[in-house]
Structure formats: C-alpha cells, structure tokens
Amino acid sequence: MTNQTLSTWDARADELQIDGRAFIGGSRRDAASGAKRETSSPIDGRPLAVLSACGVEDVDAAVSLARRAFTPWSRTSAESRKGVLLAWAALMETHAEELALLECLDSGKPILQTTTVDVPGTISTLRWYAEAIDKISGEMPAVPSGATAMVTREALGVVAAIVPWNFPLEIAMWKIAPALASGNTMVLKPAEQTSLSILRAAELAAEAGMPEGVLNIITGSGREVGAALAHHMDVDALAFTGSTAVSRTLLEASGQSNLKRLSLEAGGKSSNLVFADTSDLALAAEKAAFGAFYNQGQVCSSNSRILVQRSVHDEFLGLLREAAAAYAPADPLAGLEGNGSLISVGHTNDVEEWIHRGRTEGSVLFGGERLDIRGSDAYLEPTVLGGLAAGHDVHREEIFGPVAVLQPFDTEEEAVAMANDTDYGLAASLWTSDLSRAHRVASELVAGTVSVNTVDALGNSTPFGGFKQSGFGRDLSLQAFDNYTASKTTWIQFG
C-alpha cells in the first residue's frame, strides 16, 4: 500500500464524526436515563464516540417495539423480506469502507483485514440468508388415510442477541441474518468495546427499507442490558457468543424467566495435530500460524494448541517461526499485512500474564514481546510457548491472544487423547497424507468442526458451533434456522 493510501486512512479516521447513540425503533436514541459512556480506540487511545449507556428501561422499550413489529414482519412474504435484506446488503457494500474503518478503529483490527474480510464476509452472510429464505419448504409426512399433515417452520417472535468484540460485525450478522430472514424481530446488544460498526449498519438497514422495530441495537453493559435481555419475559430466544462463564448465567436466566430458547457459542481451546506424514510441512506451518495468530489470536476457534509428531517437531518449529512473521503487529491504519492491536490495554495485560507463566514454568520458543505502536502498547508479538507439563492451564484454557503452545507427541492415540483433554469442543485441525488416518482421527476428535489439511475451515453453508462446554446450537448454514424457528404440525382430518 502506498504512502498516499496510508495518509488517506489516517486522514479519514481524523475526519470521522461517529454517532454512538443506540438504535431503537428505527432511529437513534439516548438512553432513557440520559447516561452516556465514552469509547476510545485501542489502536492509539483516540476518543471515538459517546455511547448511550442503556438500562432496563431501554431494554423494555426495545423489546416492546420489536414485539409490535413482529406480526407484520413475520407475515410479510419471504420474497419481500429477502428484498429488504438484499437492499441492505447493497447499501452496506456502498458504505463498505466507512464500516471497515469503524471496525478497525473500534476493535484494533488492521484496515487491510476489515476491508477484505470482515465487511465483505458480513455482507456475504447477509446475502446468503436473504437468498436462502424463499427456497425452504415444509414437509408433508405420511399419515393414515383420511387426513393430511403439514409441518411448517414458524418464526419464534422477539430474538435477543448478545455478541462479543472479536468479530463485531460478522458475528452480529451470523445471528441477525437467519433470525430476520425467517421472520423474527431482534434486539441485539453489541460488546461494550465494539458497538460502532453494527450501529451504523443498522442505520443503513432502515435506509434500505427495514421496518421500524425489526432490528434494534441496544448499547450498554453485559451486567445490566445483557442480563435484562436474558431475564426478559417477552424475549422468545437468545443467541449468544462469548465466554463460558456468561453462558452459564444465561442458562440460569432462561430457567428463572420464561424458558427462552438459547443458542450458545462459548469459545474453545482448539488443537492442530501435525503428523509426520503430512505432505507439505511448510504449508502446515503457514496455516498453523494463521490458525493461532490471525485476528491477534482473538478467535474462539483459534488453533492455539499445536501438537506435532516428535520426528518433525524441530523442523516444524523453524517453519512456524518464519510463518509467524506475517502476523507481526503493524500500524493498523497503514494498510499493511500483519496484526493490529488487541482489544484493549487491559486485555493485553491479561494475555501477557500467560506469557509470563509460560516463561517461568516452561519456555518462550519465540516472540513474547509487547510493542508500542502509535503510542499504544496494546500490541503483542506472535508467541509460541513450549516445555509445559501435560495438563498445564496453558494447554486447557482459552488465552484469546496471539499465544500458542507447542507440544510434541509420539503416537496417533496420544495425539487424539491430548487434543480431547479439554472442557471445550469447538474446532480441531489435522495434517496427514494418510487418508485412513484422516478419517479415523477426524471421527475421534470431539469438535464441532474438524479441518483436514487446512485450519479453521468456515463458510456460510457449513454449521459452526461446539460440543461440550463450547455450547450448543449452530451458527451459519441452514441449521442456524433451527435457533430461530419452531416446527408446527397442522393435521387436517377429512370430513
């Protein structure tokens, strides 16, 4: 990217006027209490916007407007809903650079990633569900003669979504697109750190013709706004991505309120198994670096545990070190390859603590330094730890930063046992040129997605979600409609 482009993104960032007010009932609103909260960018600490600090009163108002909008929206033909969603996608495309800049400034991701992955990926998911919804039919099961039965999928009503800060637009759209396409209305709470891109996107939805109240974005804290949504008696379903700890509170809230349906994507500790018989060790190392360090390692399915067969361990480590250079932090606005900042200085401190433990209880194989860029120290080198005892926390807990741990193994059985020795079950990868081994190991790994000879495979058409404490319910694919619809049997007895 040229100096011209660099100065352009910087200048555009300086000129941005960002509206941080909530989006309720089709327009921007302050919190009913008038409370506000300033938000700043992790890339350099610059102030970004003043957010509405919403509370319970605002949640009630948003849910009631979403309820009012539900009947007309759910009765609109699937083709008409598709039309509105496609018009929204087109407007997001027109405003793609603005959305990408907001996403970069708010989350610390590099502009090269937000312009080429986050925003195009979000639009692609929206289009995929818009296109899917008028092609789905019900069933007519066989029943005894003298009757006929139809099984249809019905929208649930008002859906709440609570989403995290690591992919603010994309994960929001994983919930919004299938929920709205299938006729529900929604109240979505973004993470406190990253509300700006989805607020602007919701404004574009209104411009594209989405009726008032169908999509509401309510800014505020998890403890107040998130909990109020989880306990609300008029919310029919709740879709969540975030930590396992918060997932537990949501299950309790559902039980204590109206048994609202939950879908939970609660993170993971995913393993990448590299067998000595893999045909291209350099490719395995390149993809392993992507799997561990992409998005500053802040990925729920991050392959942060790399298990390598002992005979190729040292060669692999050298290749991984070379490949990790592509994820060295750089100025996020410079349009360069490389990582951006982590989500905050506080989170960087937490991740650095894991590096400290790795250094004192094992060793740092490479990386480990914290960098100062644009006057902020929320930047970390891609780091690999080693020499840590089996069962160490580093092997089992989610670090959520650019820190992977490398562990040698001898046999296939040992590798599978190590990979499955975690409370999570979101994803796993494996590298081998032996077809039988690929099938055998894939079937033995307890994970929602197993990638063979690649890492972290993901697409609109394939379900994404976990086993064990990674949660339940699936984002993406036609299966996501199961989170937002219930089947209804209509049995007609002939007279």
Check if the beta carbon of residue 306 is closer than 8 Å to that of residue 403: no
Q: Judged by CB, which is closer to ligand NAD: 76, or 243? A: 243
Place of tokens 């049997």: 489
Check if the beta carbon of residue 43 is closer than 8 Å to that of residue 334: no
DSSP 292-349: HHGGGG--TT---EEEEEGGGHHHHHHHHHHHHGGG-B--GGGT-SSB---S-HHHHH
Q: Which pair of tokens denotes residue 282?
A: 């350099």
- Count of residues in contact with ligand NAD, rule CB under 6 A: 24
The answer to whether the Cα torsion of 452, 458, 461, 466 is positive or negative is positive
Residue 380 in contact with ligand NAD, rule: CB under 6 A: no
Q: Active-site residue among 265, 286, 352, 398?
A: 265
Q: Judged by CB, which is closer to ligand NAD: 254, or 485? A: 254
Q: Judged by CB, which is closer to ligand NAD: 223, or 310? A: 223
Smallest gap from Cβ 18 to ligand NAD, in A, equals 19
Check if the beta carbon of residue 187 is closer than 8 Å to that of residue 66: yes
Residue of the chain from 242, 368, 402, 448 that contacts ligand NAD (CB under 6 A): 242
Kindly provide the residue ranges of all beta strands, DSSP E only, lying in 132-291, ordered along the sequence. 147-155, 158-162, 185-189, 215-217, 237-241, 261-265, 271-274
Q: Active-site residue among 54, 300, 381, 412?
A: 300
Residue 128 in contact with ligand NAD, rule: CB under 6 A: no
Check if the beta carbon of residue 270 is closer than 8 Å to that of residue 301: yes
The question of whether 300 is a catalytic residue gets the answer yes
Residue 425 in contact with ligand NAD, rule: CB under 6 A: no
Residue 189 in contact with ligand NAD, rule: CB under 6 A: yes
Smallest gap from Cβ 162 to ligand NAD, in A, equals 5
State the Cα torsion 321-326-332-333 to the nearest 10°: 150
Residue type, 322: E
CA distance 272 to 385: 15
Smallest gap from Cβ 246 to ligand NAD, in A, equals 4
Smallest gap from Cβ 347 to ligand NAD, in A, equals 7
Residue 344 in contact with ligand NAD, rule: CB under 6 A: no
Q: Judged by CB, which is closer to ligand NAD: 155, or 191? A: 191
Residue 241 in contact with ligand NAD, rule: CB under 6 A: yes
Q: Judged by CB, which is closer to ligand NAD: 470, or 485? A: 470
Residue 100 in contact with ligand NAD, rule: CB under 6 A: no
Residue of the chain from 267, 297, 340, 367 that contacts ligand NAD (CB under 6 A): 267
Site residues for ligand NAD, window 210-239 (CB under 6 A)?
222-223, 226-227, 230
In degrees, to the nearest 5, what angle opens at C-alpha 301 toward C-alphas 299 and 305?
100
Residue 265 in contact with ligand NAD, rule: CB under 6 A: yes
Q: Judged by CB, which is closer to ligand NAD: 129, or 400? A: 400
CB atoms within 10 A of CB 15: 7
Point out which span in 8-16, 104-112, 186-194, 317-325 binds ligand NAD (CB under 6 A): 186-194
Check if the beta carbon of residue 180 is closer than 8 Å to that of residue 174: no
Site residues for ligand NAD, window 146-175 (CB under 6 A)?
162-166
Residue of the chain from 99, 300, 355, 415 that contacts ligand NAD (CB under 6 A): 300
Residue of the chain from 381, 398, 412, 456 that contacts ligand NAD (CB under 6 A): 398
Q: Which is nearest to 225 in space by CA: 37, 8, 464?
A: 37
Residue of the chain from 22, 155, 186, 191 that contacts ligand NAD (CB under 6 A): 191
Check if the beta carbon of residue 382 is closer than 8 Å to that of residue 402: yes
In degrees, to the nearest 5, what angle opens at C-alpha 287 toward C-alphas 274 and 304?
70
Residue 121 in contact with ligand NAD, rule: CB under 6 A: no
Check if the beta carbon of residue 199 is closer than 8 Å to that of residue 20: yes
The question of whether 54 is a catalytic residue gets the answer no
Q: Which pair of tokens denotes residue 27?
A: 């327009």
Residue 400 in contact with ligand NAD, rule: CB under 6 A: yes
- Residues annotated catalytic, as ranges: 265, 300
Catalog residues that contact ligand NAD under the rule CB under 6 A: 162-166, 189, 191-192, 222-223, 226-227, 230, 241-243, 246, 249, 265-267, 300, 398, 400
